[in-house]
């Protein structure tokens, strides 16, 4: 909490080059890119960092193979290059994974047709991944026994990538990078609207924790509020070329369905791609694609029934999945950028996730709005925002600085050598999915050395604190110092994925939860625990929508 309080004090005390409103993936990369290149940046979000769409993705980093069918080859090529760039820049986090796609009888194409498309997809990606393979029904069964091949014509296997940790953690690491570059960032700070006075924007802000209000001054204002971009532009009187339409998607987290580390892909009953995605000891299944008019959405029984029916039809499980198997759900909207005179009424299932950066028609207003987007293309968003801000007159004195990517290999080698010398991997929990050294490096990079030092001084810091998770006591100390955890959900759902993979009752009963809260929140521990469990609600009845905690965040 100390880091947040220090930043709150700084927000009204100085004039910034840029204020970014919304700390999902678009806002986070914009802050990291601008901060790394020398601009004075402030970043706020009315919820937690990555608190909305950016924590509800499929955790996939893919080149958009589905856009091949609509002929949007330029976008596919761009996304493939972005995917390859992320794999190279974040080798511990963004990793190639095989997709096994099954084509059932009655599908609109013979399996050979989309298989040929995977070869074109591979070529458009520069051959940077493993080659595609055509599969007969028997080959599919040999590779993945849980697939029901009774109706299968055949299929194919190809490569894309996925996030080894969760999407929100990936987003937060950009926020942390921005902080390291000198940006001032704070979660749970809401923009109440902005006005232009002379050469500055004056944004009225409110601390959603204590209710206090203050003003933030900036030369340039960036609206990166994701699904809420249009609403915030109304507050500030901005006119833009694009607007958003919304598609709701959900995922269900269930016990691990297969030990094979690959994504299983099918075409759901509504014709869209449907995935079975590995998540450590769990499996993530989905998604739906439902046009909605508002970004405030929740999981309905109809959504759950759709996902369960589709998965049970396509897998040969010992027993069909039921609602009792669901450990957690993910639900959010995809903000799709359209031009009102062109795309708002055409089939939204075919709308792409490409982003658009609009500068107000009155360029002297120095206002940017970021529409659409996805995790795969995030580095391009950061660079494009820098270029747009420079055109608006903000100096970026270090234009060639590389603001993204994992630390230098020499730093990793130093960490791994220290870990070997102290036999860190021997401390890996029996249920863990990977060696402890690998996991700590991926999550914290250079700061993982701090965890090693804490463990050397006190071996208890290497113990798992919350039963059924892979989080150490020493990690909680680092999280308190550097990650601005304000509410318990921030840690359980976004800095980690504990609440996605551990049943709520198991979290509640964990003997280490109290100590974890003591480390994170000090004398506010009991209050934060009570707040978290008070917000726990049963899944709504069919047809009902439940609004998630508010957060101006950008899309994943």
Q: What is the pLDDT of residue 538?
A: 47
Per-residue pLDDT averaged across 514-523, rounded?
Answer: 96
Per-residue pLDDT averaged across 148-158, rounded?
Answer: 95
Report pTM.
0.94
> How does the average pLDDT of the chain come out, rounded?
91
* Among 196, 209, 271, 275, CA closest to 236: 196
User: Does pLDDT of 28 surpass 80?
Assistant: yes
Give 247-276 pLDDT, tens digit per residue.
999 999 999 999 999 999 998 877 778 899
* Among 484, 466, 549, CA closest to 521: 484
The DSSP bridge partners found for residue 200 are: 197
Per-residue pLDDT averaged across 320-326, rounded?
Answer: 97
Percent of the chain at pLDDT exceeding 90: 81
User: Does pLDDT of 41 surpass 90?
Assistant: yes
Query: Look-up: residue for tokens 């589905």?
Result: 66
Confidence band (pLDDT; 50, 70, 90) for 33?
very high
225-229, 267-271, 323-327, 481-485: range with lowest mean pLDDT: 267-271
Give 113-122 pLDDT, tens digit per residue.
999 999 999 9
Structure tokens, 205: 């802000």
Q: Which of the pair, 380 or 470, is modelled with greater confidence? A: 380
Q: What is the DSSP string of 509-545?
A: H-TTHHHHHHHHHGGGHHHHHHHHHHT--PPPPTT--
Q: What is the pLDDT of residue 552?
A: 44
Cβ pair 107, 185 in contact under 8 A: no
Confidence band (pLDDT; 50, 70, 90) for 204?
very high
Residues near 320 by Cβ (< 8 Å), separated by ≥ 6? 308, 312
Query: Look-up: residue for tokens 């910034």?
Result: 16
User: Does pLDDT of 542 surpass 50?
Assistant: no
Query: What single-letter DSSP state applies at residue 27?
Result: H
Per-residue pLDDT averaged across 477-505, rounded?
Answer: 95
Compute CA 502 distance to the chain's CA centroid, rounded to the nearest angstrom.
19
79-88, 183-192, 522-531, 544-553: range with lowest mean pLDDT: 544-553
Which of the listed ranges 163-167, 438-442, 549-553 does the model predict with the highest average pLDDT?
438-442
Q: What is the pLDDT of residue 429?
A: 83
State the Rg of the chain over Cα. 23
Residue 227 CA to residue 195 CA, distance in Å, equals: 21
User: Does pLDDT of 544 surpass 70?
Assistant: no
Residue 193 CA to residue 374 CA, distance in Å, equals: 26
Per-residue pLDDT averaged across 527-553, rounded?
Answer: 57
Confidence band (pLDDT; 50, 70, 90) for 354?
confident
Confidence band (pLDDT; 50, 70, 90) for 536?
low
User: Does pLDDT of 498 surpass 50?
Assistant: yes
145-154, 196-205, 342-351, 421-430: range with lowest mean pLDDT: 342-351
H helix and E strand count, the chain: 18, 18
CA atoms 224, 225, 226, 232: torsion sign: negative
Per-residue pLDDT averaged across 95-108, rounded?
Answer: 94
User: Does pLDDT of 541 surpass 80?
Assistant: no
Confidence band (pLDDT; 50, 70, 90) for 350?
low
Confidence band (pLDDT; 50, 70, 90) for 344?
very low
Q: What is the pLDDT of residue 270?
A: 76
Q: What is the pLDDT of residue 63?
A: 82
Confidence band (pLDDT; 50, 70, 90) for 68?
confident
User: Does pLDDT of 358 surpass 70?
Assistant: yes
Per-residue pLDDT averaged across 511-534, rounded?
Answer: 95
Residues near 324 by Cβ (< 8 Å), separated by ≥ 6? none
Q: Which of the pair, 210 or 341, is modelled with greater confidence? A: 210
User: Does pLDDT of 540 surpass 50?
Assistant: no
239-243, 295-299, 417-421, 464-468: range with lowest mean pLDDT: 464-468
Instruction: Tell me whether residue 43 is exposed, middle or buried, using C-beta atoms within 10 angstroms of its C-beta: 0 to 12, 13 to 18, 19 or more.
Output: buried
Helix (H, G, I), strand (E, B) or coil at 272: coil
User: Does pLDDT of 539 surpass 50?
Assistant: no
Terminal C-alpha separation, the chain: 26
Cβ pair 404, 379 in contact under 8 A: yes
Q: Which of the pair, 60 or 346, is modelled with greater confidence? A: 60
User: Does pLDDT of 554 surpass 60?
Assistant: no
Residues near 487 by Cβ (< 8 Å), separated by ≥ 6? 48, 188, 528, 531, 532
Per-residue pLDDT averaged across 88-108, rounded?
Answer: 95
Confidence band (pLDDT; 50, 70, 90) for 347?
low
Confidence band (pLDDT; 50, 70, 90) for 69?
confident
Q: What is the pLDDT of residue 1?
A: 73
Residues near 322 by Cβ (< 8 Å), separated by ≥ 6? 308
Q: What is the pLDDT of residue 349?
A: 55
Residues near 496 by Cβ (< 8 Å), separated by ≥ 6? 166, 169, 469, 471
User: Does pLDDT of 548 surpass 90?
Assistant: no
Helix (H, G, I), strand (E, B) or coil at 242: coil
* Among 43, 5, 7, CA closest to 22: 43
* Among 547, 552, 546, CA closest to 192: 552
User: Does pLDDT of 550 surpass 60?
Assistant: no
User: Does pLDDT of 543 surpass 50?
Assistant: no
Q: What is the pLDDT of residue 213?
A: 98
């Amino acid at each position: 909490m100390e880091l947040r309080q220090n930043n709150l004090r700084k927000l009204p005390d100085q004039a910034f080059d840029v204020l970014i409103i919304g700390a999902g993936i678009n806002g986070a990369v914009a802050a990291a890119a601008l901060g790394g290149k020398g601009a004075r940046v402030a970043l706020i979000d009315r919820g937690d960092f990555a608190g909305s769409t950016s924590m509800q993705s499929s955790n996939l980093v893919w080149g958009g193979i589905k856009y091949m069918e609509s002929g949007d080859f330029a976008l596919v090529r761009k996304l493939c290059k972005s995917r390859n760039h992320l794999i190279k820049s974040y080798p511990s986090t963004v990793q190639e994974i095989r997709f096994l796609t099954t084509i059932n009888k009655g599908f609109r194409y013979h399996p050979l047709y989309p298989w040929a498309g995977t070869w074109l997809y591979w070529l458009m990606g520069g051959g940077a991944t493993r080659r595609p393979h055509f599969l007969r029904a028997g080959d599919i069964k040999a590779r993945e026994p849980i697939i029901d091949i009774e109706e299968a014509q055949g299929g194919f296997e190809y490569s894309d990538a996925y996030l080894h940790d969760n999407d929100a953690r990936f987003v937060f690491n950009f926020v942390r990078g921005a902080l390291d570059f000198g940006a001032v960032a704070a979660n749970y700070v809401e923009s109440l609207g902005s006005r232009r006075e002379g050469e500055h924007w004056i944004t009225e802000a409110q601390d959603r924790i204590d209710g206090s209000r203050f003003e933030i001054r900036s030369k340039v204002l960036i609206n990166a509020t994701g699904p809420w971009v249009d609403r915030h532009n109304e507050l500030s009187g901005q006119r833009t070329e694009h607007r958003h339409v919304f598609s709701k998607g959900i995922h269900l987290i269930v016990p691990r369905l297969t030990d094979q580390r690959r994504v299983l892909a099918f075409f759901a009953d509504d014709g869209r791609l449907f995935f079975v995605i590995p998540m450590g000891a769990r499996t993530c299944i989905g998604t739906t694609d439902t046009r909605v008019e508002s970004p405030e959405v929740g999981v309905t029984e109809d959504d759950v029934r759709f996902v369960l029916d589709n998965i049970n039809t396509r897998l040969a499980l010992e027993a069909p999945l039921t609602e009792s198997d669901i450990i957690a759900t993910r639900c959010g909207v995809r903000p799709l950028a359209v031009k009102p005179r062109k795309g708002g009424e055409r089939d939204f299932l075919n709308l792409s996730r490409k982003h658009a950066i609009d500068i107000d028609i009155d360029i002297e207003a120095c206002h940017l709005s970021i529409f659409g987007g996805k995790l795969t293309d995030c580095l391009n968003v950061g660079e494009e925002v820098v270029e747009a801000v420079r055109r608006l007159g903000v100096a970026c004195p270090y234009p060639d600085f590389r603001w993204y990517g994992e630390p230098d290999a020499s730093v990793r080698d130093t960490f791994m050598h220290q870990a070997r010398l102290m036999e860190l991997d021997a401390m890996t929990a029996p249920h863990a999915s990977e060696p402890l050294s690998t996991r700590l490096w991926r999550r914290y990079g250079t700061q993982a050395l701090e965890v090693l030092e804490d463990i050397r001084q006190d071996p208890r810091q290497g113990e798992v604190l919350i039963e059924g998770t892979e989080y150490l006591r020493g990690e909680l100390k680092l999280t308190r110092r550097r990650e601005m955890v304000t509410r318990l959900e921030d840690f359980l759902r976004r800095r980690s994925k504990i609440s996605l993979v551990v049943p709520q009752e198991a979290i509640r009963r964990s003997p280490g939860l109290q100590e974890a809260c003591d480390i994170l929140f000090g004398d506010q521990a009991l209050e934060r625990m009570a707040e978290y469990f008070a917000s726990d609600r049963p899944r709504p009845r069919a047809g009902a929508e439940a609004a998630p905690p508010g957060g101006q965040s950008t899309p994943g």
